[in-house]
Amino acid sequence: MKLDSGIIMLDVPSNVPGMFIHPTVMWDDDNMVLVDAGYSGQSNVIRDAFINEGIHFESINKIIITHQDLDHFGGLPEILESSTHKIEVLAHEADKPYIQGEKHLVRLNSNFLNTMPEDRKKMVKQMFENFLPVDVDTTLADNQELPYCGGITVIHTPGHTPGHLSLYHQTSKTLIVGDELNKMDGILMGPRKEILEEGDYETAMESLKKLLKFDVKNIVTYHGGLYTNKPHKSIENLIK
């Protein structure tokens, strides 16, 4: 779905039937930036989503990973491998060692696995143990301004993971929030408490306050898609 000139939210079928994930694409004359890369094995469905939107998958030259969960970067190795040119990988410094396989992914030993039925738990645990690590080329920090695609502000929103990032695309007034916010049945929801460890949920709620300083027209949640109904007020209501 086109949100404005130079920004599209993709609708990509998830590996859970009937569910979708929503990577975002931003571009200018020199760059095609993908935000989040889906699960392992999803590069073809992401490619199809590009074709559906009339944009060129082969033009991607930067991929920003909002955080270390495998539904966000599991598909990254195959995209990098299939590209004929170097794609720069960007992530927050605090999640870099996890994405690079130097630390166990935070979700491996957490409440997250306990939210699943036994058969699925085993499969997901294996996935978390056997993922392909990826080198992060560039680390991002809070408040950093990326000088492309009309200007993108980096917002460090820790809690869901230590290096969770949100991004603000300035020209379209779009907040890309990864899993910091969710949308369910049309309603904007905060971070998912049931999958987080003690203290992390509180950190994620604290991070929400950082989103209030932006003039927001669109919120893109990775799992629920686009939210546009009084975005600022809706975030404020979640904090109260």
- CA of 231: how far to CAs of 60, 80, 147, in Å? 29, 34, 25
**Alpha-carbon span 153 to 147, nearest angstrom:** 9
Binding window for Zn ion (CB under 5 A); candidates: 65-73, 112-120, 146-154, 160-168: 65-73
Closest separation in Å from C-beta 181 to Zn ion = 11
Closest separation in Å from C-beta 168 to Zn ion = 19
Give the SS3 label for residue 35: strand
**Closer to Zn ion at the Cβ: 41 or 151?**
41
Of the residues 36, 71, 180, 200, which one makes contact with Zn ion according to CB under 5 A: 71
DSSP summary character for residue 131? P
Closest separation in Å from C-beta 191 to Zn ion = 11
Question: Within 13 Å of residue 155, how many CA atoms lie on the same side as its CB?
Answer: 25
Q: H/E element holding 166?
A: strand 165-169
**Alpha-carbon span 141 to 124, nearest angstrom:** 30
Closest separation in Å from C-beta 39 to Zn ion = 10
**Closer to Zn ion at the Cβ: 154 or 177?**
177
Binding window for Zn ion (CB under 5 A); candidates: 7-15, 129-137, 149-157, 176-184: 176-184
**Closer to Zn ion at the Cβ: 78 or 179?**
179
DSSP summary character for residue 197? P
Binding window for Zn ion (CB under 5 A); candidates: 63-71, 130-138, 165-173, 232-240: 63-71
179 lies in the site for Zn ion, by CB under 5 A: yes
Give the SS3 label for residue 175: strand
Binding window for Zn ion (CB under 5 A); candidates: 35-43, 71-79, 92-100, 188-196: 71-79
Q: Are 73 and 134 in contact (CB under 8 A)?
A: yes
**Closer to Zn ion at the Cβ: 22 or 156?**
22
Q: Are 48 and 75 in contact (CB under 8 A)?
A: no
DSSP summary character for residue 85? S
95 lies in the site for Zn ion, by CB under 5 A: no
Site of interaction with Zn ion (CB under 5 A):
69, 71, 179
